[in-house]
């Protein structure tokens, strides 16, 4: 299913994202796995981890709330896994704007996919 596929995973440097990518790399031969994250430090740690030193892995800095950046990352992508989240629940509840990460990210994904489908037609 994911052989020769291009996969974008938002929040790719998080615990779910890293385990998902490890599983994909062990099980399939994807064309590209794009790790989309706003955390430069975590991306640099992943780049030096042997588990992720695969020619199909690409790192893309960006925030899911930035629709233009997300749209650029989604070019020629077959599958999008939306795993970006702020996990400190008390802080997220107190800072309502932080909750928007999931909502805006999901909205940006949907809009980007619709635009991609129109371009392919």
Torsion angles phi and psi, residue 14, rounded to 5: -80, 175
pLDDT band at 10 (very low <50, low <70, confident <90, very high): very high
* Cα 59 to Cα 23: distance, rounded to the nearest angstrom: 17
pTM of model > 0.85: no
Task: Give a yes or no: residue 102 inside a domain.
Answer: yes
Question: Tokens representing 49?
Answer: 């981890």
State the total domains in the chain. 1
* Cα 101 to Cα 92: distance, rounded to the nearest angstrom: 10
Residue 42, pLDDT > 70, answer yes
Q: What is the end-to-end Cα distance of the chain in Å, rounded?
A: 23
**Mean per-residue pLDDT for 4-23?**
95
Task: Give a yes or no: residue 91 inside a domain.
Answer: yes
Query: What pLDDT score was predicted for residue 65?
Result: 83
Task: Give a yes or no: residue 10 inside a domain.
Answer: yes
Could you tell me which residue, 9 or 103, shows the higher pLDDT?
Answer: 9
CATH number at residue 96: 3.40.50.720
**Mean per-residue pLDDT for 91-107?**
55
How many Å is the Cα radius of gyration of the chain? 14
Taking every pair of Cα atoms in the chain, the longest distance, rounded to a whole number of angstroms, is 45
Length of the chain: 121
Residue 85, pLDDT > 80, answer no
Residue 89, pLDDT > 60, answer no
Range of the domain at 36: 6-120
Task: Give a yes or no: residue 1 inside a domain.
Answer: no
* Cα 62 to Cα 72: distance, rounded to the nearest angstrom: 10
Task: Give a yes or no: residue 70 inside a domain.
Answer: yes
* Cα 6 to Cα 11: distance, rounded to the nearest angstrom: 16
Mean of pLDDT over the chain: 83
Task: Give a yes or no: residue 50 inside a domain.
Answer: yes
């Amino acid at each position: 299913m994911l052989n020769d596929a291009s996969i974008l995973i938002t929040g790719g440097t998080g615990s779910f994202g890293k385990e998902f990518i490890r599983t994909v790399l062990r099980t399939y031969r994807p064309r590209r796995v794009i790790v989309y994250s706003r955390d430069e430090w975590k991306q640099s740690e992943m780049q030096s981890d042997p588990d992720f030193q695969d020619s199909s892995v690409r790192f893309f800095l960006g925030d899911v709330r930035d629709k233009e950046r997300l749209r650029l990352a989604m070019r020629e992508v077959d599958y999008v896994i939306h795993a970006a989240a702020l996990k400190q629940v008390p802080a997220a509840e107190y800072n309502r704007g932080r909750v928007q990460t999931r909502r805006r990210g999901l909205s940006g994904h949907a809009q980007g996919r619709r635009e991609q489908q129109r371009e392919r037609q």
